[in-house]
Amino acid sequence: MTSIKEQLISLEKHAMSDLKQIETEQGLDEWRINYQGRRNGQLPKLLEELPKLPIEDRREVGIAANKLRDTLEIGYNERLQEIKNSELQEKLLEETIDVSLPGRKQTLGKLHPTTQTIREISSIFVNLGYQIVDGPEVESDYYNFEALNIPPDHPARDQWDTLWLDYNNEEGIRPLLLRTHTSPMQIRTMENQEPPIRVIVPGRCYRHEATDTTHESMFFQIEGLAVDKGITFADLKGTLYTFARKLFGAERKIRFRCDFFPFVEPGVDMSIDCFSCDGIGCRVCSNTGWIEIMGAGMVHPDVLKRVGYDPDVYTGFAFGMGPERISMLKHGIDDIRHFYTNDLRFLEQF
């Protein structure tokens, strides 16, 4: 039979090698119960044999047993500390934020170049006392044409290639179309307001048109209308002159030439001297030195009569321009189709 002393040595060996394998606090408790538990622990069990030893051996074995008890206790505490440390480590790792990781990029949206131009133009007129109004893109033949002195079958209609709506037209309902210009809002505004009127109308227009570098089937226009007692052509010139200088620079010259639009009399087109070459002649102005930027004129007396204004009392002027054309001129854009093909390489430049 192996002596108690030898058994103590082998118990220590087993206990300490078991201890190294333990990874959890629960495992550690089980280990302690297994070796030191009061009832069935291996060490207390062994010590039950102590009284059976010859008296001279008891002291020596007792000392060895106490030493082993201390060793187990120290081993227990050390392992407990190790387990706690590694749990903490794991928790810390879980909660760690990797500060070296680059942040997620926030992409910043921007206004569409046309919106930017419309806002720039609008704010110039708002500062001159104009109101911004909005109108329907689906219009009736009456507002888009007839009320603007463009009767059915009149050759002037050729100027506006129209997209008609496939709409079952019952008697009394006027034919519908996609507005070809923002001018119908002249009529709607005068019907709804009393003079003095100062409005601008930015909005989408549509034409049944083959597209090319200067034509799109959908584009924007900004219409303007001023009606009051005593408005003359001088007011038209003064207003549009101020506008052109605000938008294109204080040194700009302007030029008016006669043009025909059925709803104004006289009608004009307005040009500025080329801001790119100062009038010498270049690609931007097609070597003419001048750039046309809008149509305008004095509101036709028949248009005023149609909305119930007395043309002997009230007069007014109207104008219409294309913001895409203006932004093409300002930024040197060579194709109007860039605006609405949604290519970010184009849009991000503005």
Q: What is the DSSP string of 214-271?
A: TB-SEEEEEEEEEEEET--HHHHHHHHHHHHHHHH-TT--EEEEEE--TTEEEEEEEE
Closer to ligand DAH by Cβ: residue 47 or 296: 296
Among all residues, whose Cβ is closest to ligand DAH? Answer: 320
What residues contact 318, with CB distance under 8 A and at least 6 apart? 183, 186, 223, 224, 225, 226, 263, 264, 296, 297, 299
Active site residues: 160, 181, 207, 221, 264, 318
Q: Tokens at residue 68, please?
A: 């082993």
Q: How many other β-carbons are positioned within 10 Å of the β-carbon of residue 17?
A: 9
- The pairing of strands 254-259 and 264-273 is antiparallel
Footprint on this chain of ligand DAH (rule: CB under 6 A): 181, 183, 223, 261, 264, 295-297, 318-320
Q: Tokens at residue 186, please?
A: 């002249």
Closer to ligand DAH by Cβ: residue 200 or 247: 200
For residue 247, the one-letter residue type is L
Please say whether the beta carbons of 264 and 253 come within 8 A: no
Closer to ligand DAH by Cβ: residue 182 or 327: 182
Residue in 158, 231, 242, 241 with CA at minimum distance from that of residue 198: 231
Closer to ligand DAH by Cβ: residue 59 or 208: 208
CB of 221 to ligand DAH, least distance (A): 6
Helix extents (H) in the chain:
4-21, 25-36, 42-47, 55-95, 113-127, 141-144, 184-192, 233-248, 301-306, 323-331, 344-347
CB of 259 to ligand DAH, least distance (A): 8
| Angstrom distance (rounded) from CA 305 to CA 96 | 78
CB of 114 to ligand DAH, least distance (A): 16
CB of 200 to ligand DAH, least distance (A): 11
CB of 297 to ligand DAH, least distance (A): 4
Closer to ligand DAH by Cβ: residue 114 or 183: 183
Closer to ligand DAH by Cβ: residue 82 or 235: 235
CB of 225 to ligand DAH, least distance (A): 7
